[in-house]
Structure 1
């Protein structure tokens, strides 16, 4: 896979639009469209995207097959996206665009407790 395909895959897995990614990165949506059309960003921007998606630059460029450790865990990803999209939860956790699997597990425990669910894992 090339960069555009990897980016598209990562955006799809998080249900991100060009506009949302651009907004999150404080760039113009046309820039994201250019990336998806085949233009590769600068090294500094690749590092920012790598951090945002929680994957290596090599993965973004298509040189690695395995993404970040929690990519295959749908429940963790779903809960993390809930936290990212909810302003109150985001403020409570003060999270960035990247969280470790252990941080996500802690978020899940707190969210379940707040929702009145079982927080045992």
Structure 2
């Protein structure tokens, strides 16, 4: 989990982050995501150029540390639809299943590197 110092004092946020990490998921403070996204520009040939608008929306929510269920609720879609978008994103980013690679984290890192300025 990556939380800003001032967020550690917010008990609800800290407990939520601890629960997510204990469940094997990642948490990145939304403010960190915003800063990282704002510091990158998107080239026409960037890996994200192949993604649809909806896939980018899903990936943005993934970068905020949300589960597929939480993304489905936020985008008012079924969880299976989110899973299809996530898998399509993995394919388009060339992220094959490998034991030593966490595809969700790799996809989020690609997003943070190449997302358009002010995305989100």
Give the TM-score, by structure 1 length.
0.29
Structure label with greater radius of gyration: 1
Give the TM-score, by structure 2 length.
0.29
Q: Which has the higher contact order (CA 8 A, sep 6+)?
A: 2
